[in-house]
Chain A
């Protein structure tokens, strides 16, 4: 459904995206993850035909995203990373205009269903809406025409945890209906929930592209394990302890969760908590300075 071949966009020297290649089959979901400035938004803008590639191409359903942008847009629902909306309009008017532009006719069943799901009152003036409400409005605008392909740049940005879950559930349903999804995020758990494959971006290059399951096995998760009493050194054998504060042990686990749980089962564990880690920490092996681009 989507082909990206040696796609490059050069901005100032060294900045931009360089020789990106990947494909997304119909019905698949692909995540682009990487810190700010890694090139996620530029890649998605190339897919929308908003940015002219310096080299290479991107295609959606066989149509060139730059040369046949209007035809591509008929298939695609797009959410930008930085949502800006026309301040002078009301939410309902904005959504009605989007529907008319995209040729949506008939009873507004899908619109009403999306409004209910995101608990959004569209009769409010956009200038009075909070950042989260604007994000919800933009998500609805991207989905209201029921497009076959969804291109979403940091879709949960600004949403509260409840609405983040509502969005992720919606993505599960859209996937089940055969939609093709490309989304960017710097939150790994979000990408892990939605996507089949992931491209890890660094400085405009894809440093890893793999199936979600394999990538998940490669990430190093940190757990803070609190003991009720100090264990013996032998009892901790098999755990990779990266830090210790009194009875709190920070354990790094990479893939082998069975061994981790089996070892903990024999220890006086009083509390267990997964640490929130940045993308750079999760994939330190990709983001360390020594890593060269493939």
Chain B
């Protein structure tokens, strides 16, 4: 990394750090709350029988295949499969658009882009800042899981492999979705439009994954969605061995999307 890029990364991280802190604290706080509530949920009369009456496709769609029999399965469906996903979706769209699009589109990035850096260096530095934020988000979530289980004494200590697999796939999923958002940020000359478009695509991807899980006939819809690669309940239920194809696929797609975003940004006009 060149000296100029280090300066850009430092500036970007200084601006982005408070946002990362808010999301991380909110997300981890919610994880602690979920585990605190776990005994009252698992001991709710009739919950298992209600789940048993639901069609298998619906429990799969809702990420409840592992049931609520143990706290990790509960966290996989209610935290990793729901709240964490939603928080990361907002974090990704808002964060990437803010770092990559707002400066050039609203005009305040002139001072940095008129500096001795190429456009590729600029967008790579901002992308690096986002990925660093995503890494911190994921890492804190991963380290908090055993801590939260221990604090509430839920009697289960997840294997490191399961924890790493859950968080690695989550990281790579949002690395790829951030690449898609970066493409929107580079393609449009209006950050509001980039935000709306990337948000709509992400919501559509999520919806495809949900609907694709309802029936075997619609499973092809799930395959169209990046979210289809990430099924936390399955990882907890079946182990971490099957995550590598998904991890490699997400890494490959994400890298391609980021390269496309850099290519587009290098060619666009800037009203600075």
- A73-B114, A73-B117 are contacts. A50–B269 as well, Cβ < 8 Å? yes
Task: Check if A45 sits within 8 Å of B272, measured CB to CB.
Answer: yes
- The minimal Cβ–Cβ distance linking A34 to chain B, given in whole angstroms, is 18
Task: Check if B114 sits within 8 Å of A45, measured CB to CB.
Answer: no
Q: How many A-B residue pairs have CB under 8 A?
A: 65
In the assembled complex, B115 has its CB within 8 A of some CB on chain A: yes
Complex contacts, B267 vs chain A, CB 8 Å: 52
Question: Which stretch in B41-49, B104-112, B238-246, B257-265 binds the other chain?
Answer: B104-112
In the assembled complex, B119 has its CB within 8 A of some CB on chain A: yes
Query: B-side binding surface: helix, strand, loop or mixed?
Result: helix
- The minimal Cβ–Cβ distance linking B44 to chain A, given in whole angstroms, is 46
- The minimal Cβ–Cβ distance linking B80 to chain A, given in whole angstroms, is 33
Task: Check if A80 sits within 8 Å of B107, measured CB to CB.
Answer: yes
Task: Check if A70 sits within 8 Å of B272, measured CB to CB.
Answer: no
Task: Check if B11 sits within 8 Å of A103, measured CB to CB.
Answer: no
What CA separation (Å) do A98 and B111 show in the bound complex?
7
Complex contacts, B119 vs chain A, CB 8 Å: 69
Question: Which stretch in B1-9, B63-71, B194-202 binds the other chain?
Answer: B1-9
In the assembled complex, B118 has its CB within 8 A of some CB on chain A: yes
Complex contacts, A88 vs chain B, CB 8 Å: 15
What CA separation (Å) do A82 and B113 show in the bound complex?
15
Which of B3, B106, B107, B118 is in CB contact (< 8 Å) with A69?
Answer: B118
In the assembled complex, A74 has its CB within 8 A of some CB on chain B: yes
Q: Mark A152-185, 1 if CB is under 8 A from B, else 0.
A: 0000000000000000000000000000000000
- Interface size grouping (class) on chain A: 20 to 34
Task: Check if B111 sits within 8 Å of A70, measured CB to CB.
Answer: no
Query: Counting chain B CB atoms within 10 Å of each CB, which of A73, A74, A82, A88 scores highest?
Result: A73
In the assembled complex, B270 has its CB within 8 A of some CB on chain A: yes
In the assembled complex, A76 has its CB within 8 A of some CB on chain B: yes
Name which residue of chain A comes closest to B267, CB basis: A52
- A69-B119, A88-B15, A100-B7 are contacts. A48–B114 as well, Cβ < 8 Å? yes
Complex contacts, A242 vs chain B, CB 8 Å: none
Which of B110, B117, B269, B270 is in CB contact (< 8 Å) with A70?
Answer: B117
Residues of A within 8 A of B (CB): 45, 48, 50-52, 69-71, 73-74, 76, 78, 80, 82, 84-88, 94, 97-98, 100-103, 138, 141
Q: Which 7 A-B pairs have the closest CB atoms?
A: A84-B107, A78-B114, A50-B270, A70-B118, A74-B116, A101-B115, A84-B108
Offer 24 A-B interface pairs, CB within 8 angstroms, sorted by A: A45-B269, A45-B272, A50-B272, A51-B269, A51-B270, A69-B118, A69-B119, A70-B116, A70-B117, A70-B118, A73-B114, A73-B116, A80-B110, A84-B108, A85-B108, A85-B111, A86-B108, A88-B15, A97-B111, A98-B115, A100-B7, A101-B116, A102-B116, A103-B3
